[in-house]
Amino acid sequence: MTGPKFCDFEQCREPATHTYVWAWGESGFCCAPHQMMRTQQASQLKRQIQFTALTPGAPERVTFDERVRLHAEAISAREECAEVKGRSAELYSSNQKLAAEVRRQQLVLSQLQSEVADLRAELEQVTREKLEALRQVANLTNEVARAESVLRASGLDSAPFGAG
Ligand SMILES: [Zn+2]
């Protein structure tokens, strides 16, 4: 930047102390009193304006309005933070509940699985016993048939097998 800059607030033309940039990109120069005016405009419009001091190394003068705005922003940020923390605690606790529920369901599931395994083993055992019983019935049937044929061959088939 070369040469002095002048305030562009209406007909002011005083030497500028700051440059400003609106949130929508419009920029220009302003003197100290008009910096305050633009700050008020910004809060009325509820839009951001950013000032940069033209004198290098000069500390940025924080206006009263800016302090109020920053304070309000800090308060709302703190409120948001508290809200987020509350929500996070809520989520943590519901997550804990869900994890406990999952553990409970897993326990129920493993109990059911072990009961199913027991029942399956029992069914296999019963099936084996049934097959064994059927085999015995078949053996006995064969023996009876053999005995009957022996009796028939010896002419003694009147009693007690094959009677009536
Ligand atoms: Zn001015």
DSSP state of 55: S
Parent domain of 44: 1-61
The answer to whether position 47 is within a domain reads yes
Structural domain total, the chain: 1
How much of the chain is helix, strand and coil, in % rounded to 5? 65, 10, 25
Ligand 1 center to residue 85 CA distance, Å? Answer: 45
* Distance separating alpha carbons of residues 31 and 9, to the nearest angstrom: 8
Ligand 1 center to residue 31 CA distance, Å? Answer: 4
The answer to whether position 145 is within a domain reads no
The answer to whether position 74 is within a domain reads no
Only one residue has tokens 């083993």, namely: 121
Ligand 1 center to residue 36 CA distance, Å? Answer: 10
The answer to whether position 45 is within a domain reads yes
The answer to whether position 131 is within a domain reads no
The answer to whether the pTM exceeds 0.85 is no
The answer to whether position 99 is within a domain reads no
Spell out the per-residue pLDDT of the chain, length 164, in tens: 456 789 999 889 899 989 999 989 899 999 999 999 999 999 999 999 999 888 765 555 667 777 778 888 888 888 888 888 898 899 999 999 999 999 999 999 999 999 999 999 999 999 999 999 999 999 999 999 999 998 888 876 555 554 44
